[in-house]
A and B are shown apart, each in its own frame.
Chain A
Amino acid sequence: MRRENGQWLPWVLLVVALLFLILVEAGAFGPLESLLGYIISPVERGVSTVIELLGGLGQSARDVQQLQQQVEDLQRANATLIQENFRLREFKAENDELRRKLNFVQDNPTYSYVGADVVEYGCGIFPCATVVGEDTNPYLQYVIINAGSRNGVAVGMPVVTSGAALVGRVARVSRNLAYVQLINNPQSQVAAMLQESRITGMVVGTTEGTLTMIDILPDEKVLGGETIITSATGGLLPRGLILGQVESVTYLESDLFQRAAIRPAIDFRRLETVLVITDFPRVNLEELEGAP
């Protein structure tokens, strides 16, 4: 084996690695990271394509491919219908809510009213991206998508699947790639509500990669199977994006709030294509604060 004349190099490299961490934490590492990103993103896309091609070679029988295609089509159609059903139930709940408000107005004709939404959202430009890789750090729940700053993607933007199920939010962006923090990441927190009962809470990720809804008031009655959607409180996300369904509810006397285990609406290990919501109408908090 080779003899080492001096071991200064590893120490220098260790110091540089520590400097990376310090610079990133201080927010002074962006330009260099972008430059390095230029090098790796085309390589990753190329390798990803090669792997997809190699994977397809294993299925030589034509009928097997056709059957697989049919199953995929049916699964896709089924997923779309389920998510469409969620959307329709959301519209029904909204309709019921508006009807209740209308009845209140009719019952109290002497009052004056101003209608308002907590946060509304509309259509933006949705860059469609393919999931090209997963995080090399096995302790973090991120996916890497092939849309970056050149497509208008920026940090904080929500990422959804085609049926309006929330995947996560963009945590980092390079020119060609974006790193999406999944909602089951332990650092993720999403303001949420139950679709039918309108009970609010926070959906958080756990270190086990599961989803939990916390901060549910103890006197609220949460039913299993109810759909959980984003509530848009805080204005970071549009309202009505699907998060999952209530699986079970726990409440300990010592806790201040109930918590619900959630069955996610999507399988995070099988993400293929996603949409990034680049814009949606938000409440301008500065305007509200400045209002008399």
Chain B
Amino acid sequence: MSLYFGIPILLIAAVLQSVLLESVQILGGRPDLVLLLVVTWAIIRGANEGAAWGFTGGIFCDLLSGGTFGLWTLALTAVGFLAGQPWVHALGPTIIRLALMSALGTLFGHGLLLGAMALLGYSVNLARDVQTVAGPAALLNFLLSPFTFTFLVWFHKRSQPRWGGQGE
């Protein structure tokens, strides 16, 4: 399990998301750093570790949110699980499926988050939220995915000496 370095990475990412990225506007939105790290790690290491990173990152995001505790944990665990599924390998070379899953995972994660919020009684304006928050976040995560991949592969190589199998 990779959580011994995953915990500090996800914790710092969640804090950066709270203190820095929330005030940043790029292309009309802002990237979702923790979600991007979870998707990337799930692509690299599979569903088990993806879900574990999603669960951990979700707890950190929930601790930095005034919303109901568990919203982010549920959404990111599901995203990590989804992005690590074997069928994702059919989407093409690693960098392509990473970019695709970053965008799809962001939309899926935000969709789950909004659905859970709606079930819990929060006011949700789906069309506006997708247009102004989830859509731009998906685009930015799509563009940023090669950078997080390079960053996390570095950790992966150090925690997984046999890296390089299966044509990667």
Binding site for B on A (CB under 8 A): 1-4, 7, 9-10, 13-14, 16-21, 23-25, 29, 33, 36-37, 40, 43-44, 47-48, 51, 132-140, 142, 144, 171-172, 179-181, 186-187, 207-208, 269
- Tell me whether B72 and A138 are in contact (CB under 8 A): no
CB distance from A81 to the nearest CB of B (A): 27
- Tell me whether A133 and B45 are in contact (CB under 8 A): no
> B11 at interface (Cβ–Cβ under 8 A)?
yes
> B61 at interface (Cβ–Cβ under 8 A)?
yes
How far does the alpha carbon of A127 sit from the alpha carbon of B20 in the complex, in Å?
25
Binding site for A on B (CB under 8 A): 11-12, 14-20, 22-23, 30, 34, 43-52, 54-55, 58-74, 77-78, 80-81, 84, 86, 89, 113-114, 116-117, 120, 122-125, 128-129, 133, 137, 160, 165-166, 168
- Tell me whether B72 and A13 are in contact (CB under 8 A): no
CB distance from A266 to the nearest CB of B (A): 15
Give the interface centre of A10, A13, A20 by most chain B CB atoms within 10 Å: A10
CB distance from A11 to the nearest CB of B (A): 8
In the complex, residue of chain A having the shortest beta-carbon distance to the beta carbon of B129: A139
- Tell me whether B11 and A33 are in contact (CB under 8 A): no
How far does the alpha carbon of A179 sit from the alpha carbon of B117 in the complex, in Å?
18
Assuming the contacts A24-B70, A40-B11, asked whether A187 and B19 have C-beta atoms less than 8 A apart, the reply is no
Q: A138-B137, A139-B113 are in contact. List 19 more A-B contacts (CB 8 A).
A: A4-B86, A7-B47, A13-B54, A13-B55, A19-B70, A20-B70, A21-B70, A24-B70, A37-B63, A48-B19, A135-B64, A135-B66, A135-B67, A136-B65, A138-B30, A139-B114, A139-B122, A187-B122, A207-B124
Can you name 30 A-B pairs with beta carbons within 8 Å? A1-B44, A1-B45, A2-B49, A4-B46, A4-B86, A7-B81, A10-B50, A10-B51, A14-B78, A16-B73, A17-B74, A19-B70, A21-B70, A21-B71, A33-B69, A36-B59, A44-B19, A44-B64, A132-B19, A133-B19, A134-B22, A136-B64, A136-B65, A136-B72, A137-B72, A138-B30, A172-B66, A180-B66, A187-B122, A207-B129
- Tell me whether A9 and B11 are in contact (CB under 8 A): no
* List of A residues within 8 angstroms of B137 by Cβ: 138
How far does the alpha carbon of A2 sit from the alpha carbon of B18 in the complex, in Å?
32
CB distance from B87 to the nearest CB of A (A): 13
How far does the alpha carbon of A208 sit from the alpha carbon of B165 in the complex, in Å?
49
Give the interface centre of B52, B68, B72, B124 by most chain A CB atoms within 10 Å: B68
* List of A residues within 8 angstroms of B68 by Cβ: 21, 24-25
* List of A residues within 8 angstroms of B48 by Cβ: 4, 7, 9-10
CB distance from B14 to the nearest CB of A (A): 6
- Tell me whether B19 and A1 are in contact (CB under 8 A): no
- Tell me whether A133 and B15 are in contact (CB under 8 A): yes
CB distance from B5 to the nearest CB of A (A): 15
How far does the alpha carbon of A19 sit from the alpha carbon of B77 in the complex, in Å?
13
- Tell me whether A40 and B77 are in contact (CB under 8 A): no
How far does the alpha carbon of A33 sit from the alpha carbon of B16 in the complex, in Å?
21
How far does the alpha carbon of A4 sit from the alpha carbon of B49 in the complex, in Å?
9
* List of B residues within 8 angstroms of A172 by Cβ: 66
How far does the alpha carbon of A226 sit from the alpha carbon of B133 in the complex, in Å?
33
CB distance from A38 to the nearest CB of B (A): 10
- Tell me whether B64 and A186 are in contact (CB under 8 A): no
In the complex, residue of chain A having the shortest beta-carbon distance to the beta carbon of B56: A13
How far does the alpha carbon of A3 sit from the alpha carbon of B47 in the complex, in Å?
9
In the complex, residue of chain B having the shortest beta-carbon distance to the beta carbon of A171: B66
- Tell me whether B19 and A139 are in contact (CB under 8 A): no
How far does the alpha carbon of A207 sit from the alpha carbon of B80 in the complex, in Å?
28
